[in-house]
């Protein structure tokens, strides 16, 4: 893996990141398959983990609304 993002004005940083992670992703899939997990189980687990990661990013980005004031 390269040491991190590179500045490429013409590039797509999401695609660059994906390409940087690809060989590690393939190695992880192969490791899971060799451990005996079925392809669909591996795919579902990876998708679930990716969605949880994305939700965590969204949770961190949420701004809490101020406490509501009650009328008295």
| Per-residue pLDDT tens over the stretch 2-60 | 556 665 556 789 999 999 999 999 999 999 999 999 999 999 999 999 999 998 887 77
Assess contact for 5 and 17: CB atoms under 8 A. Answer: yes
pTM of the model: 0.65
**Which tokens sit at 17?**
């990141």
- Number of other CB atoms surrounding residue 33 within 10 Å: 13
Cα 1 to Cα 4, 26, 54, 62, distances in angstroms? 8, 13, 22, 31
């Amino acid at each position: 893996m390269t040491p991190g993002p590179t500045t490429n004005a013409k590039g797509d940083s999401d695609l660059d990141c994906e390409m940087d992670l690809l060989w590690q992703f393939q190695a992880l899939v192969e490791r899971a398959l060799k451990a005996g997990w079925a392809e669909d189980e591996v795919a579902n687990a990876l998708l679930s983990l990716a969605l949880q990661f994305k939700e965590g990013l969204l949770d961190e980005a949420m701004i809490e609304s101020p406490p509501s004031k009650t009328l008295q």
